[in-house]
Amino acid sequence: MDQMNELRGLIARHCQVPRVETPIPRVTLMRSGNMTMPSRVLYEPLFCIVAQGAKRVIVGDNVLIYDAAKYLVVSVDLPASGEIIDASPEEPYLAFSLRLDRAMLAAMLLELAEIEDDGAPVAGMAVSAVDADLLDPVIRMLKLLDRPRDLPVLGPMLEREILYRLLCGAQGRMLRQIALSDSRLSCISRVIDWIKHNYAEAARVEMLAEIAGMSASSFHRHFKAVTSMSPLQFQKQIRLQEARRLLLARPADAGSIGFAVGYESQSQFTREYNRLFGAPPARDAARLRELSITDPQRMAEPV
């Protein structure tokens, strides 16, 4: 596909390091000359196209693989494990991502014809086939990196065009729910935000359902559909990822960090940390510090 070749060339030229935050608002370019180890991170709402290579993402029980024939959409903050599974120095992994602007999506919905929504649960992360109509504005947006004078005027117009193509595409229903404040997805997003900021607190399903404005059974069904996890599994992953961040950020006793993120039992914290990250807390933190020094590109987490 000529368009994909053009996109590949633009990313390769403007991204010579693992990650570049471009002058275009919310646009990031990624590059990796190696396959990477599985990395657990919190994905934010975004749209991503891979121009070369491939990546595997695991969220809950759901496994997604996307390459140059597909695009990824993430609608809510989701803890997931991602790894680049196709990359080499000769043909590096190359990707474009755009963080989704909920306010812009909401404004665009006011201009579009109203579409019926049956209220069925939607996933929080999905992969679809890319087409020429979607690739075209992405390519024209990246060409603005060579014409910075045009960026302030044409950049927002091209972002709107990309979002319009997404709204009209296979994941349009998911994107519409991001923008609607009373949608089921937005209700689940409120709960996710609460868990992110209160991960150390005990969270009963009934209380979370009240935050979402749903019955407990409806909340549990929609939360599972969006995140591929139960609310308690989701909170556990947020707790453990925060514990890992704290372990890397400052030397500390693993037990104190376990208590800081909400665990009452040191043995339970160590057991669940080991299960998620493949090593006890102190050993995992030491391994990651060493890896960040000896091979920083493998620590990078391109989308």
DSSP letter, residue 235 = H
User: What whole-number distance in Å separates Cα of residue 203 and Cα of residue 287?
Assistant: 32
Is 184-227's fold the same as 233-299's? yes
**Domain positions in the chain:** 2-178, 184-227, 233-299
- Superfamily (CATH H level) for 2-178: Jelly Rolls (2.60.120.10)
Per-residue pLDDT of the chain (303 residues; tens, 9 = 90+): 689 999 999 999 999 999 999 999 999 999 999 999 888 889 999 999 999 999 999 998 889 999 998 999 999 999 999 999 999 999 999 999 999 998 888 888 887 765 555 566 778 899 999 999 999 999 999 999 999 999 999 999 999 999 999 999 999 888 888 877 678 888 999 999 999 999 999 889 999 999 999 999 999 999 998 999 999 999 999 999 999 888 887 756 767 899 999 998 889 999 999 999 888 888 888 887 776 655 554 444 546
Is CATH 1.10.10 correct for 184-227? yes
Specify the pTM. Answer: 0.84
Q: How far apart are CA 61 and CA 79, in angstroms?
A: 12
Domain 233-299 fold is Arc Repressor Mutant, subunit A (1.10.10)
Q: Which of 261, 242, 246, 254 is nearest to 201 (CA)?
A: 261
Cα 191 from Cα 232, distance rounded (Å) = 12
Return the closest-CA partner of residue 302 out of 141, 94, 139, 100.
Answer: 94
- Give pLDDT, residue 300: 46
